Structure 1
Amino acid sequence: MSIELVVFDMAGTTVKDKNAVGLAFQNAMNAYGYAIAIENINPIMGYEKPVAIKMMLEKHETDKSKITDQLIDDIHTEFVTSMIHFYETSGDIVPLPNVEETFDVLREAGIKIALDTGFSKNIADVIIRRLGWEDKIDIMVASDEVENGRPFPDMIDKIKSELGVVSSEVIAKVGDTEVDINEGINSGCRYVIGITTGAFTREELMPYKPTHIIDNISEVIAIISADVKILSEKES
């Protein structure tokens, strides 16, 4: 059964991130009185951001009655505003090395390309527009477009439904965090590929048991080439 679809994460996997996401999250928490070290924030950046905010509040707020939906929404609004401004104005919005070339090879082989993300759609749309990726991908699904974000498989389920992909056995999932890997596993993806270009190192990814760990996104082609004749011919 050949791979028909590759689902990529965004920040840290396909889009360069000099920790802008983690710093924006840190600043949003700080604006509401929660000073949290960046090393405690980075590991949860793959989660849907309201969920990540709640996780941090539960760790750092002793008065649990203060952890309300309104507080979570207010902090998330602060984060979203900061991220949209960053992605609209920064000159640092660029693809990671070999991303666009990998997209081109996959599409030439007839493989669909999807992006999913822990960002809300309003942030993700700005990134797609700034990079000019509207015609390079088949679909993008953000965490606020489904009931449950990662590590639940809801975003991949939506992608499958929209693209007419019947089985997760024909899907490869690629991402740089724990929740990317668990999303792929929970969906039943044939390949669940961790990548070291973002939040997690190889050593940090290994305990979550991805099928592969790579250092460059172009390695995806070699992994799935055995299943896709056109890619196999390109490799030879």
Structure 2
Amino acid sequence: MTRPALAALDMAGTTIDDHGLVYDVLREVVEDVAPSVRADDLQRHMGTEKAHAIRALAAAGGVELTDEQVAERFDTFRSRLAGRYADRPPVPLPGVEDALAALRASGVRVALTTGFSRDITNSLVEQLNWRDSIDALVCGDEVAQGRPAPYMIFRAMERTGVLDPHEVLAAGDTAVDLQAATHAGCGWRVGVLTGKADRAALEAQPHTHVVEGVRLLPQLLRLAAA
């Protein structure tokens, strides 16, 4: 396998522990206007852009939202989530900060890709003091379509100057993370077990590796190079 030049990493459940708040709030804002959100429907939309998820989850409950209603629900989602994060800030997952430093020290550029909007993401990165720990940041509201489309990975490549998707390691904790990596043609498609998806769910998707967490990525690259 070609050694990666870029690691494109998801945020919630992959590099940070947000205590499950994003999906608690997502469920709440949909259930304000639609019947109860089924657990399997919520699982299916983990990792996707959140306005898209709101529309899809409401539709799964039999409620078709207008564009204006989706926008209103999304604004409510952002406001509620910001409040929850203020009360209980997300924290780095164990070993992630050391892994980011090790990847960059070895010449691998690091980008964070997330279904969050830019305002939420900027706040998270500032709280974590990660501005100097990454090379690029790509948010779901900055591309034409979020995961499982490949566009956030392509934007991360653009922002870090990487031309060949075979030189990209994309890692995430959800099925759509792996689907996006596959659609982008990434040479390394890594599922991590620090989110809500179990090994069976991740291994059911096209992948090259499934590991316990991002903390093991430097070790994975060393083993591949041996």
TM-score interval for Structure 1 and Structure 2 normalised by the shorter chain: over 0.9
Displacement of 1:42 in angstroms is 3.4
2:47 counterpart of 1:46: yes
Give secondary structure in 2 for the equivalent of 1:218.
helix
2:71 counterpart of 1:73: yes
Tell me the equivalent position of 1:118. 115
Displacement of 1:67 in angstroms is 2.3
Tell me the equivalent position of 2:12. 11
Partner of residue 160 from structure 1, selected from 154, 157, 160: 157
Tell me the equivalent position of 2:218. 221
- 2:20, 2:40 → 1: CA distance? 11
Task: Give yes or no for contact 2:111–2:137 (8 Å, CA) kept in 1.
Answer: yes
Tell me the equivalent position of 1:108. 105
2:205 counterpart of 1:208: yes
Displacement of 1:9 in angstroms is 0.2
Displacement of 1:33 in angstroms is 4.3
Give secondary structure in 2 for the equivalent of 1:61.
coil
2:178 counterpart of 1:181: yes
Aligned residues: 225
Give secondary structure in 2 for the equivalent of 1:135.
helix
Tell me the equivalent position of 1:56. 57
Task: Give yes or no for contact 2:8–2:112 (8 Å, CA) kept in 1.
Answer: yes
For structure 2, the residue ranges without an aligned partner over 5 or more in a row are none
Partner of residue 130 from structure 1, selected from 127, 132, 144: 127
- 2:10, 2:78 → 1: CA distance? 18
The one-letter code sitting in structure 2 at the alignment partner of 1:73 is: A
Mark the structure with the bigger radius of gyration. 1
Task: Give yes or no for contact 1:22–1:42 (8 Å, CA) kept in 2.
Answer: no
Displacement of 1:104 in angstroms is 0.9
Normalising by structure 2, report the TM-score: 0.93
Task: Give yes or no for contact 1:43–1:200 (8 Å, CA) kept in 2.
Answer: no
Task: Give yes or no for contact 1:3–1:227 (8 Å, CA) kept in 2.
Answer: no
2:85 counterpart of 1:84: no
Give secondary structure in 2 for the equivalent of 1:151.
coil
Same amino acid, percent of matched pairs: 29
Displacement of 1:39 in angstroms is 5.1
The one-letter code sitting in structure 1 at the alignment partner of 2:154 is: D
2:21 counterpart of 1:20: yes
Task: Give yes or no for contact 1:61–1:67 (8 Å, CA) kept in 2.
Answer: no
Tell me the equivalent position of 2:191. 194
Displacement of 1:74 in angstroms is 1.2
Task: Give yes or no for contact 2:169–2:187 (8 Å, CA) kept in 1.
Answer: yes
- 1:38-84 deviation line (CA, Å, top 9, x unaligned): 5542331211111111211221125xxx4211111111111111112
